[in-house]
Amino acid sequence: MGAVSACGLMPSVDGVFVDQRETYKKAHELPPLELPPELKAGAIQDEYDGGTKTATAYSSNNKAVVKTTPLSEDLPPVELIKQGVDSHLMVRDSLRNTWRKTISALEEKNYDIEDKNRQTGLVYLNIAKDKGSSSMLSSLAFWKSADTEVYLIELKRTDSGVTLRVLDEEETRIENEVSKTLLSDLLTPLAQ
């Protein structure tokens, strides 16, 4: 009961906070904005010529000239190029899209991604060596360490798109069943 009477002894706070509800209700329009003098008619100086300069005019001004060439529509989006040890995928897309699709495809296929470095364009995979015995007893031997090999997928930007190569742990090109499987597993998802 003492707590209730203590609240009644506090001074009134009506004068401390001014009621602004009516003012807010009436403020439905903002005053018009004033234009700065540099934006008024006649004061605007157009720096751009409207696209009448040529590439040589820009390059003579020591500014960067970026040439873009559209990709040919008659080429497939992804192509498996078989050249022995230099077998690779040629993806006709940006490095960013190819990186994203590659990581998604590897995760979807349940590959063990150890590390990925977008700056260097390398994806490190742990792939089990020959499975050996597939008996029930050997599958229960969880205390044995799994024999795995490290493979790398290298993504490199080229003039015609992005190349995807499978490398071994020493970053040398290889041609074996694992590399063939990796390239074929990535072929369809990268084409989408």
Residue 166 lies in a domain: yes
Residue 60 within any structural domain of the chain = no
Residue 171 sits in a domain whose CATH number is 3.30.310.170
133/64 Cα distance (integer angstroms)? 61
* Inside any domain, residue 158: yes
Q: Are 111 and 91 in contact (CB under 8 A)?
A: no
Calculate the alpha carbon distances from 125 to 50, 108, 153, 155 in Å.
51, 14, 8, 14
Q: Residue 95: name the closest of 23, 30, 184, 156 by CA.
A: 156
User: Domain for residue 120, yes or no?
Assistant: yes
pLDDT tens per residue, range 50-102: 656 555 554 555 555 555 555 556 778 888 888 878 889 999 999 999 999 99
pLDDT tens-digit series, residues 142-185: 555 668 899 999 999 999 899 999 999 998 998 899 989 999 99
Q: Which of the two residues, 187 and 31, has the higher pLDDT score?
A: 187
The answer to whether residue 99 is domain-embedded is yes
Q: For residue 17, tell me if it sits in a domain.
A: no
Which is nearest to 165 in space by CA: 110, 121, 118? 121
Task: Note whether residue 162 is domain-resident.
Answer: yes
* Structural domain for 98, as ranges: 78-191
Q: Are 94 and 104 in contact (CB under 8 A)?
A: no
* Count of all residues that appear for the chain in the document: 192
> Do the domain assignments include residue 186?
yes
Quote the pLDDT of residue 35.
80
* Angle, in degrees to the nearest 10, between helices 95-108 and 177-191: 120
- Provide the 8-state DSSP code for 173: B
Is residue 13's pLDDT more than 70?
Answer: no
Q: Give the span between the Cα atoms of 109 and 188, in whole angstroms.
A: 12
Q: With 60 as the cut, is the pLDDT of residue 131 above it?
A: no
How many domains does the chain divide into? 1
- Global pTM reads 0.55
Q: Nearest-5° angle of CA 60, CA 159, CA 78?
A: 150
